[in-house]
Structure 1
Amino acid sequence: NPDFQPTFKIKRWIGFLGFIACFGVMFKLDMIAMLGALAVIAGLYIWLQRQEVQLQSNDVWQSVWENVVNKGLKKIDAKVDEHSNWNPNIILFSGESTHQSYLLELGKTVSGRTGIVTNFKLILDKDNSKPPLRKIEQIVRDDIFTDLGIFARQIKVDNIYSGITNIATTFGFSGVDPNTIMMGWPKGLESSAEYSKMTETLLHLDYNLLYLDFDREAKFGNYHTVDLWWRETDSKNAEMMLNIARFIIASPRWNNTNIRVLFVNNNNVDKDIIHSKIYKLVEDLRVNVEIVIINNAVEQKPFYDLIKQQSSNTDLTLVGIPNYKIEKQAEFVLKTNHLFKTIGSTLLVKAANNFNVLDLDFTKYKNKV
């Protein structure tokens, strides 16, 4: 405890030797008395714990946990492994819509058992007419967050997009740096320069990006079906989708989920070759899925048209965000909005550079058909 500052220190082994000596002497003198003394001490310990013993202004146990967290963060920060498994640390912008609870629910599901989710409520004050919130006012205590195990904050901003950018740039500290941004899919912003600039900054910061388009009618259906859509350009997105699928099936609501990986074969490659390759990739991450190969070499249907045909009744569809130039964002948003009108709830995925590249380029097998 920070309030306990002795003038000298005693080595730990001295205390340990004293414990061994006392134990031996008491055991020799009277074993029953020794057990009784241990029972009394244990009872006193439990009673003091229930009384929430405080030392001046600091709670004893709070200081203990702060010390544990401090040492843990130092160990995590000292060991940086770029190729370790994805441990989600999500910054979530859920807003105050009627379907906020579903976005919070999916955010917690995607984070798994060991991930961290911090939800930010942005209070818009365009004129900066009010002072910023005090530190204690920024902390949100609400049952909806407590029940899900989500940290919650609220911050006043003069612009939503610059506010998101500032939080993404500055929030976090060594050892538990956020690695994922999650929010609802912003409809009607295809021509917004501010939104384009925000997206460009988030990509530059190398965050994983997750956008949920929530179907207000179907919601998440029966929590029974999940589709992962892959194409040759999803070499990084594919691994992130598999990680998300692994976390989804580990959650109570989705534990009986059927997962499909749907790959679009645009190059007339033997289906068995593609199936075998994808099976090995999936097997490495130990996710049980059904693999569906869609031959599209002849008809060359647009990717989104195939999604409409195959996933119209799926409870949750995962689609990778391709690499595109920022000036093409309006076109991408418009096409994606049209897709969302025809399918259920969809999670768009853009993986950061620290994900492994899964080899989904099968063009080298094209001549073997």
Structure 2
Amino acid sequence: MAKKKKFGTFAGVFTPSILTILGVIMYMRLGWVVGNAGLLGAILIIIIAHVIAVTTGLSVSSVATDKKIGAGGIYYVLSRSMGIPIGGSIGIALSVGTALSIALYLIGFSESFNAYFGFGTSVNDFRLTGTIALIILTALALISTSLALKAQYFILAAIAVSLIAIFSGTSEFVPESVPLFSTEGAVPLEVVFAIFFPAVTGFTAGIAMSGDLKEPNRSIPVGTLSAIGGGLVVYIALAVFMAYTINPDVLKTDYNILMKIAIFAPAVVAGIWGATLSSALGGILGGPRILQAMSIDKVTPKIFGKGKGSNNEPVNALLMVFIIAEAGILIGELDVIARVVSMFYLTAYGFINISYFLESWANPDFQPSFKIKRWIGLLGFAACFGVMFKLDMIAMFAALAVIGGLYFGLQRKEVKLQSNDVWRSVWENVVNKGLKKIDAEVDENSNWNPNIILFSGKSDHQSYLLELCKTVSGRTGIVTNFKLIVNAKDDTPLKKTEQVVRNESFKELGIFGRQVKVENIYSGITNIATVFGFSGVEPNTIMMGWPKGLENSEEYAKMTETLLYLDYNLLYLDFDRKNKFGNYSTVDLWWRETDSKNAEMMLNIARFIIAAPKWNNTNIRVLFVNNNNVDSTLINSKISKLVEDLRVNVEIRIINNAVEQKPFYNIIEEQSASTDLTLVGIPNYKIEKQAEFVIKTNQLFETIGSTLLVKAANNFNELDLTLIEANSEITES
């Protein structure tokens, strides 16, 4: 098999780039730009356009020196840094833009060619000439890429000779004064910029050849930036020359004025034809390679990925580019095509710049040999979308809608690469900085943002515990579910990768899943509660099912004592397996005078519950047992004030119990027998009385529905529920 021919910096990057930059816009529209914008206006347009070109060239050059660059140029860079969805969507837009730019160059060629030989100058005449030129150039590309690239040297020489002829010429149209800015009746600057901008997009022609370069990491930065710099010098020099040599009215109307003022007109003609044809040839060589690379990555149909010969020439992709280019030629209007091409390229360049910025900011493995300041990428991104917004806001949103549609389509297609994209690094960096920020702040008196450790084993009713836990954690809370695997005989821990649990229910609810081996349940819970978490997002709540039948367990009592000592919020759910959560329509919050901290936590939980879709039509009641014959109006007023401050709409019910002195749990049985979810505070009790508390609570659960027991940590505020001196130990139950 013949060895694939590779190209160096000059032939592979600089020459195709500079030929595309010094192309149709320079010869056929730069005078029109100066005539409409004035000298300083034209220079401003040239500089703004080159700011975008330079920042994008710097960004892509830096990324190119960080990793091996394969075939596909800018598409390859974006897909390997930002992932297939963004890389593919921009790559598709860029390949279409490149194909349409071929039409732009060939329509420019047709204008000059037909005018020089006296052929027809109607739109249909330009279409015919452009189509013939496209067929010839496509045939040349099919015959040999190497031959096409060698032809560029002669064209480059012709452009140099034409520029000498122009600068050496004389003019009959010297203006009396040089207008610095646009004059009355001139085309708006936004339109002028849109038509000029394709002039600076040529540097991508060299990048698109990345797969055919000997040393892409070196050739792309050197060749690209040299071409951009050279183009900037030529454009400014030519703009100044034309402003002082040719009357602006002539510049606005005569697209072939450069031929008329040149010392030797045929040299200019050769330069125009060479520049336009070489620019088109650059697109014909580069566009199919972008499409081929995308097809190899399964972004576009695989038929376009097939190549022929030792160099794997993208024949099928070339035919597709030919069709798109011909569609552009059929438009026939150079100015219209230029505006469309501008939007495609500006969008692509914006994402190239933000790709570099994110890589340099977030990716710890980003170590390019060509280093630039990070803000350059951000500046390029802002400049691209700022210019798009100014040029044509509707077109900008249309372009973004197309890119967005392609992005979501590729995301759903789930095309993956072996390489990592930058988004993981971005999120890791954001999380890292966020954790440092959170950890640096003292969280006294802040709103409760739940970070729950949930203990739930696999059962028929696990989904309900998961569902309620996610509900009470709120929109921004964190839930980590632990499955404890009891294996006293084998103390070998699970590997870190085996400890992570991912399943559809966890993914749907947004719950993190873990599993660990433990000697027994209680020591496992204690150990996890003691060590799990890290600075900034320390867990603050433990939730589990209510432990029936453990009233005499010393291990359970010790575990509870440890959890209370660690100052966790504790949530125990007794789930009604028959009625479940009923119709998700009623929630009762039971308060007593000693529930000052539990009461605030219950109100926070209530706020999260009513925000959940299933509970959004829930009626919430606060029930307070008045054991001391205090005026009910006073109690209602105090509770209303507390509830109002926490922005929860509730019904308040005062139950007078001064005479009957019924046990607290008996009253709950009477009032909440048909409630879908009941919240009850766990009172302060000595650990030796835990068995008594568990037994009485078990009896309560036999008569009411699903119940959540709440024990608030010390960081909750104490709500002032004290009405008169009250005795409130476990006897209240």
TM-score normalised by L of structure 1? 0.89
3-state SS of the aligned residue for 1:84?
Answer: coil
Is 1:68 the counterpart of 2:417? The answer is no
Q: CA deviation at 1:62?
A: 1.2
For residues 558 and 386 of structure 2, the distance between their equivalents in structure 1, rounded to whole angstroms, comes to 72
Superposed, which structure 2 residues align to 1:275-286 within 5 Å?
275-286=636-647
Superposed, which structure 2 residues align to 1:319-330 within 5 Å?
319-330=680-691
For residues 26 and 355 of structure 1, the distance between their equivalents in structure 2, rounded to whole angstroms, comes to 51
For residues 546 and 378 of structure 2, the distance between their equivalents in structure 1, rounded to whole angstroms, comes to 59
Of Structure 1 and Structure 2, the greater strand share is in 1
Is 1:289 the counterpart of 2:619? The answer is no
Is 1:352 the counterpart of 2:699? The answer is no
Aligned position for 1:170: 531
Matched to 1:145, the amino acid is: F
Is 1:261 the counterpart of 2:618? The answer is no
3-state SS of the aligned residue for 1:362?
Answer: coil
Q: CA deviation at 1:88?
A: 0.6
Aligned position for 2:675: 314
Matched to 2:654, the amino acid is: I
For residues 177 and 53 of structure 1, the distance between their equivalents in structure 2, rounded to whole angstroms, comes to 34
Change (3 A) 1:361 1:62: same
Runs of 5+ in structure 2 lacking a partner? 1-362, 727-733
Is 1:126 the counterpart of 2:488? The answer is yes
Is 1:87 the counterpart of 2:449? The answer is yes
For residues 23 and 337 of structure 1, the distance between their equivalents in structure 2, rounded to whole angstroms, comes to 64
3-state SS of the aligned residue for 2:428?
Answer: helix
Aligned position for 2:8: none
3-state SS of the aligned residue for 1:182?
Answer: strand
Matched to 1:291, the amino acid is: I
Percent identity of equivalent pairs: 78
Aligned position for 1:192: 553
Q: CA deviation at 1:141?
A: 1.4
Moved more, 104-113 or 62-71: 62-71
Q: CA deviation at 1:339?
A: 0.6
Deviation per CA, 1:45-67, whole angstroms, max 9, x where unpaired? 9679868786x853322112111
Aligned position for 1:241: 602
Moved more, 275-284 or 92-101: 92-101
3-state SS of the aligned residue for 1:236?
Answer: helix
Q: CA deviation at 1:71?
A: 1.4
Deviation per CA, 1:223-247, whole angstroms, max 9, x where unpaired? 1110000000100000000000000
For residues 407 and 386 of structure 2, the distance between their equivalents in structure 1, rounded to whole angstroms, comes to 27
Change (3 A) 1:288 1:138: same
* Alpha-carbon contact 1:214-1:345 (below 8 Å) kept: yes
Matched to 1:104, the amino acid is: L
Is 1:332 the counterpart of 2:698? The answer is no
* Alpha-carbon contact 1:53-1:59 (below 8 Å) kept: no
Q: CA deviation at 1:124?
A: 0.6
Q: CA deviation at 1:78?
A: 1.5
For residues 330 and 26 of structure 1, the distance between their equivalents in structure 2, rounded to whole angstroms, comes to 71
Q: CA deviation at 1:143?
A: 1.1
Deviation per CA, 1:130-158, whole angstroms, max 9, x where unpaired? 62111111111111211111110110111
Change (3 A) 1:19 1:329: closer
Aligned position for 1:202: 563
Runs of 5+ in structure 1 lacking a partner? none
* Alpha-carbon contact 1:215-1:344 (below 8 Å) kept: yes
Q: CA deviation at 1:6?
A: 3.7
Is 1:59 the counterpart of 2:429? The answer is no
Deviation per CA, 1:78-99, whole angstroms, max 9, x where unpaired? 2222211100110001112321
For residues 521 and 499 of structure 2, the distance between their equivalents in structure 1, rounded to whole angstroms, comes to 16
Aligned pair count reads: 357
* Alpha-carbon contact 1:118-1:151 (below 8 Å) kept: yes
For residues 281 and 199 of structure 1, the distance between their equivalents in structure 2, rounded to whole angstroms, comes to 30
Deviation per CA, 1:312-340, whole angstroms, max 9, x where unpaired? 11111000000000000000000000111
Superposed, which structure 2 residues align to 1:2-17 within 5 Å?
2-6=364-368, 10-12=372-374
* Alpha-carbon contact 1:53-1:60 (below 8 Å) kept: no
Of Structure 1 and Structure 2, the greater helix share is in 2
Higher Cα radius of gyration = 2
Measured on the aligned residues, the alpha-carbon RMSD in Å equals 2.9
Change (3 A) 1:22 1:207: closer
For residues 427 and 674 of structure 2, the distance between their equivalents in structure 1, rounded to whole angstroms, comes to 47
TM-score normalised by L of structure 2? 0.46
Q: CA deviation at 1:17?
A: 6.2
3-state SS of the aligned residue for 2:666?
Answer: helix
3-state SS of the aligned residue for 2:589?
Answer: strand
Change (3 A) 1:19 1:141: closer
Q: CA deviation at 1:109?
A: 0.5
Deviation per CA, 1:238-266, whole angstroms, max 9, x where unpaired? 00000000000000111111100000111
Change (3 A) 1:264 1:12: same
For residues 623 and 608 of structure 2, the distance between their equivalents in structure 1, rounded to whole angstroms, comes to 19
Match of 1:362 among 723, 726, 731: 723
* Alpha-carbon contact 1:185-1:211 (below 8 Å) kept: yes
For residues 481 and 420 of structure 2, the distance between their equivalents in structure 1, rounded to whole angstroms, comes to 28
3-state SS of the aligned residue for 1:155?
Answer: strand
3-state SS of the aligned residue for 1:239?
Answer: helix
Off by >4 Å, runs of 4+ in structure 1: 12-28, 42-54
Change (3 A) 1:307 1:71: same
For residues 275 and 20 of structure 1, the distance between their equivalents in structure 2, rounded to whole angstroms, comes to 57
Q: CA deviation at 1:348?
A: 0.2
Change (3 A) 1:214 1:47: closer
